[in-house]
């Protein structure tokens, strides 16, 4: 029973947590087990082998920590860096802001590169800093791949290009919470040293697993890190990896079985097909926004996100009322505007186990809500624009050909 009942199904279109597919729900519907029995290490071994594929890494070492993305952030930082180390970190929205706050509270020397919300990371400033840093005082570059507050995606290949151009040894630490398993992500090819994601985003699981992948360079850096860490210490995991038992403390058995099912679904569809599906969903949503006569918070096409669209509303409309009305009248969950863009944008999440017809239902709901709050919209305009694009671009379902 829902805590606050409404007929039918809740239409969940926040940029995480996302819809959980039925096979994953069924896989998690099980009793507890002894995680020291032979079964759980055997399951964990396959998960560690397969989870590397979502990062597109063959050389990385994965860690599945019972935590959120925030815990994964802390694990990435404290295992590779020491207090006082200089970090260049990009502030482009609410989640990059929160990560920077964590970096500062962990006593790193954070060199913040701030951009207007709606813009991507300023890589010209990064280039200047790398060019001036002949002494290699910069120990890490921290960047959010996909900033969900503003719907901005950064080009990680350009960051790697700059590091290589100046032969700079700084570690590249990437928050891929709302990108990995949905957007193109190539850990090995782009020279990412630590990448991380959360189970509640494109993996389409409940919150509770922070998944990290560390390069050999990052593992080497962890040997000299002096940051205080206990729960997030990679050394504890590596010790139990060698023992073949894998867990330094109790994992969520149900989430492990859910992750197994979620990975199986992703691999059945094919990671590249999953990325292409998200590309279609993102494009269709942006076409609908354009047809409504509204603007994307993201200021340039090169930064458009295929997992979330932040929609700017006219000044006479409070975007928070759109989100409230969606939930109260239409059983539709949309994302609020956060911090600097609170009241100015609402967010449509289009990531995870989601198809095109589900998205069209969301867009129809948004149109009615816009009409409710006094925006002069032509009902059906955005749905028509999205439908025309999707009808020409949706492929046949591979398993049904």
26 is in an annotated binding site: no
Q: How would you classify residue 57: left for phi > 0, otherwise alpha for psi between -120 and 50, otherwise beta?
A: beta
Which is it for strands 345-349 and 308-312: parallel, antiparallel or unpaired? antiparallel
Which is it for strands 152-153 and 61-65: parallel, antiparallel or unpaired? unpaired
Q: How would you classify residue 58: left for phi > 0, otherwise alpha for psi between -120 and 50, otherwise beta?
A: alpha
Q: How far, in Å, CA of 79 to CA of 222, rounded? A: 5
Beta strands in 218-354 (DSSP E): 295-296, 308-312, 332-334, 345-349
DSSP state at residue 91: E
How far out from the chain centre does Cα 319 lie? 23
Of 335, 397, 401, which Cα lies nearest the Cα of 366?
Answer: 335
Enclosing H/E stretch for 87: strand 86-91
**Pair of tokens at residue 336:** 């609020």
Describe the chain by its helix, strand, coil percentages, rounded to 5: 45, 15, 40
Q: How far, in Å, CA of 262 to CA of 257, rounded? A: 9
Asked whether 93 and 148 are in contact (CB, 8 A), the reply is yes
State residue 213 phi and psi, 5-degree precision: -130, 125
Q: How far, in Å, CA of 38 to CA of 127, rounded? A: 51
DSSP state at residue 304: B
Residue list, annotated binding site: 347
Residue list, annotated binding site for substrate: 347
């Amino acid at each position: 029973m829902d805590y606050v009942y409404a007929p039918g199904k809740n239409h969940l279109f926040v940029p995480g947590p996302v819809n959980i597919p039925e096979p994953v729900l069924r896989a998690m519907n099980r009793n507890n087990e002894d995680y020291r029995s032979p079964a759980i290490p055997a399951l964990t071994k396959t998960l560690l082998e397969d989870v590397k594929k979502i990062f597109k890494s063959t050389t990385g070492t994965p860690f599945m920590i019972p935590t959120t993305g925030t815990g994964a952030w802390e694990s990435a930082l404290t295992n590779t860096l020491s207090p006082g180390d200089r970090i260049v970190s990009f502030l482009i929205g609410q989640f990059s802001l929160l990560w920077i706050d964590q970096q500062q509270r962990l006593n790193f020397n954070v060199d913040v590169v701030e951009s207007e919300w709606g813009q991507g990371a300023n890589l010209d400033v990064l280039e200047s800093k790398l060019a001036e840093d002949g002494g290699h005082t910069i120990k890490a570059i921290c960047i959010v791949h996909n900033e969900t507050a503003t719907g901005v995606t950064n080009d990680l290949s350009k960051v790697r290009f700059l590091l290589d151009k100046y032969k700079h040894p700084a570690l590249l630490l990437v928050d891929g919470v709302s990108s990995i398993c949905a957007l193109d992500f190539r850990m090995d090819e782009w020279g990412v040293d630590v990448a991380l994601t959360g189970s509640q985003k494109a993996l389409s699981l409940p919150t509770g697993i922070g998944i990290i992948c560390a390069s050999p360079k990052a593992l080497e850096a962890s040997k000299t890190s002096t940051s205080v860490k206990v729960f997030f210490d990679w050394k504890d995991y590596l010790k139990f990896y060698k023992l073949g038992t894998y867990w330094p403390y109790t994992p969520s058995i149900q989430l492990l079985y859910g992750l197994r099912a979620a990975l199986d679904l992703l691999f059945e569809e094919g990671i590249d097909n999953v990325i292409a599906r998200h590309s279609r969903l993102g494009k269709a949503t942006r076409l609908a926004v354009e047809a409504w006569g509204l603007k994307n918070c993201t200021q340039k096409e090169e930064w458009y996100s295929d997992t979330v669209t932040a929609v700017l509303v006219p000044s006479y409309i409070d975007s928070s009322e759109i989100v409230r009305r969606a939930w109260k009248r239409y059983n539709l969950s949309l994302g609020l505007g956060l911090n600097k863009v609170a009241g100015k944008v609402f967010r449509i999440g289009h990531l995870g186990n989601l198809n095109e017809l589900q998205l069209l239902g969301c867009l129809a709901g948004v149109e009615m809500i816009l009409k409710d709050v006094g925006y002069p919209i032509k009902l059906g305009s955005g749905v028509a624009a999205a439908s025309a694009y999707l009808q020409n671009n949706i492929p046949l379902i591979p398993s049904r050909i």
